[in-house]
Amino acid sequence: MNVLTDNFRTYAEGFLGTLELTGWSSALALLLGFVMASFRVAPVGSLRAFGTAWVTVLRNTPLTLLFFAVLLGLPRFGLVLPFQVFAVLALGCYTSAFICEVLRSGINTVPRGQGEAARSLGMTFGQTLRLVILPQAFRSVIPPVGSTLIALAKNSAIAGAFSVTELLGTYRTLSELGYNVVWTFAWIAAGYLVLTLAISALFHLMERAWGVAR
């Protein structure tokens, strides 16, 4: 326990850094995932092509390479931001591709007649998607969305290699101080377990409240 108690502030800063990084990245991923899912089912060919390209490129790009591209590439084009913001952009954009596909699979479960009925009432594509299709689709994809965000929380560990304060990065500080490596990583693992279990519990409650009964 002395590894935790003697360095509680270090662990707390790392945990809060991971929590903040996960929160902002999740919000960005959900927003972009919603937009890209809308593009992928849009009646406009150029939007479908853009959505397809977004998903294809990001899903097939290693996340570490994306971090390098964002954190080291964007400043070369004059975009200088805090490393934490760059990390949120990398994590959020990467995860949005997976959120997009999850939402699109949910959209495909909604009967086609629902959209046709909405259009017969004079609704636009945007109104049909926002008011009719997506509310039904989201109910069926709550568990996979939760799993994707859990993966995001664990992927945030990569940000520590780019000078971003997060939980995994605390091992370097404690290692330099001579603490036992095994227990250092054990408490780091416990922190990630708390975070992922909290996300899992949240989506379990959402599924019980809004999920499709099976």
Cβ contact 90:63 at 8 Å: yes
Find the mean pLDDT for residues 5-31: 86
- Cβ(69)–Cβ(58) below 8 Å: no
Which pLDDT value is given to residue 201? 94
The whole-angstrom separation of Cα 168 and Cα 144 is 25
Q: Select the more confidently predicted residue: 121 or 85.
A: 85
Give the pLDDT mean for 85-89: 91
Asked if 27 contacts 161 with a C-beta cutoff of 8 angstroms, the reply is no
Residue 101 in this model has a pLDDT that exceeds 70: yes
Assign 138 a pLDDT band (cuts: 50, 70, 90): confident
Are the CB atoms for 159 and 91 separated by under 8 Å?
Answer: yes
* Cα 175 → chain centroid: 30
Instruction: Pick the more confident residue, 136 or 211.
Output: 136
- pTM of the predicted model over 0.75: yes
- 8, 77 in Cβ contact below 8 A? no
Q: Is the pLDDT of residue 175 over 80?
A: no
Instruction: Give the residue ranges of DSSP H helices in the chain.
Output: 2-6, 8-40, 45-59, 63-68, 83-109, 112-120, 125-128, 134-140, 142-155, 170-176, 181-210
**Which residues fall within 8 angstroms of residue 162, CB to CB, at 6 or more apart?**
67, 71, 83, 86, 87
